[in-house]
Amino acid sequence: MTARRYDPGRRQRIIDAAIRVVGARGIAGLSHRSVAAEADVPLGSTTYHFRTLDDLMVAALRQTNEGFAELLAARGTLEDTRADLAAELAGLMGEWLAGDRTGVELEYELYLAALRRPALRPVAAEWIDSLVEPLTRRTDPVTARALVALLDGICLQMLLTGTSYDEEYAREVLGRILRCGGATGDGPAG
């Protein structure tokens, strides 16, 4: 019997490999076998760390969700209550979409996989809540949810139609939601 090799980074490499597999082949190309090959680990390692494919997809979705939340935190979009919230959110989305479009497509593919895979739904809901929660510092919870829904809708339409992101359009429609919600974008609705 050979000794087990200590490999503390293996679980993370498997998650990273799963993200690369989905990026290259889509959700349909994701299997324990394809991820093991991509991560250059034995097949048993993937099933040891992630008993089911859904477990692996949950880990991948959580990791991809972190990117937008980190951008939101780093930019400090919601901290300055004097800033125009619609303009800040439109700019943030523009920054996110200016990167590799494949990465954005991958995030949405994993996010939308929750439609058919109930195990992913709590993670998709966590992502929505992670955006709604900080927005409620600047507006009411209903308006915050409407803003997140609109951001998702703009991104999906852009990805599906292959059009370019129009930051001015995004700022305008985000502003309309803020005005209808009783907020001006420059502080909590009162």
Residue 56 lies in a domain: no
Query: Could you tell me which residue, 107 or 146, shows the higher pLDDT?
Result: 146
pLDDT digits (tens, 9 = 90+) for 98-107: 877 777 888 8
Residue 4 lies in a domain: no
CATH of the domain at 83: 1.10.357.10
Asked if residue 72 and residue 146 are part of one domain, the reply reads yes
Asked if residue 176 and residue 133 are part of one domain, the reply reads yes
Q: Please give the pLDDT value at position 4.
A: 55
Asked if residue 152 and residue 84 are part of one domain, the reply reads yes
Asked if residue 91 and residue 41 are part of one domain, the reply reads no
Asked if residue 83 and residue 18 are part of one domain, the reply reads no
Q: Please give the pLDDT value at position 1.
A: 43
Asked if residue 124 and residue 151 are part of one domain, the reply reads yes
Residue 68 lies in a domain: yes
Residue 2 lies in a domain: no
Is residue 75's pLDDT more than 80?
no
Q: Which of 3-7, 85-89, 105-109, 125-129 has the highest mean pLDDT?
A: 85-89
Residue 132 lies in a domain: yes
Is residue 95's pLDDT more than 90?
no
Q: Which long-range contacts (CB under 8 A, 24 or more apart) does 137-140 make?
A: 137/78, 137/188, 138/78, 138/81, 138/85, 138/183, 138/185, 138/187, 138/188, 139/85, 139/178, 139/181, 139/183, 139/185, 139/188, 139/189, 140/181, 140/182, 140/183, 140/188, 140/189
pLDDT digits (tens, 9 = 90+) for 14-70: 999 999 999 899 889 999 999 999 999 999 999 999 999 999 999 988 888 777 777
Asked if residue 122 and residue 32 are part of one domain, the reply reads no
Asked if residue 71 and residue 41 are part of one domain, the reply reads no
Query: Could you tell me which residue, 55 or 8, shows the higher pLDDT?
Result: 55
CATH of the domain at 41: 1.10.10.60
Range of the domain at 15: 9-51
Asked if residue 127 and residue 45 are part of one domain, the reply reads no
Count of structural domains within the chain: 2
Average pLDDT score over residue span 80-88: 88
Asked if residue 172 and residue 120 are part of one domain, the reply reads yes
Q: Please give the pLDDT value at position 3.
A: 45
Query: In the predicted model, what is the mean pLDDT of the chain?
Result: 86
Residue 188 lies in a domain: no
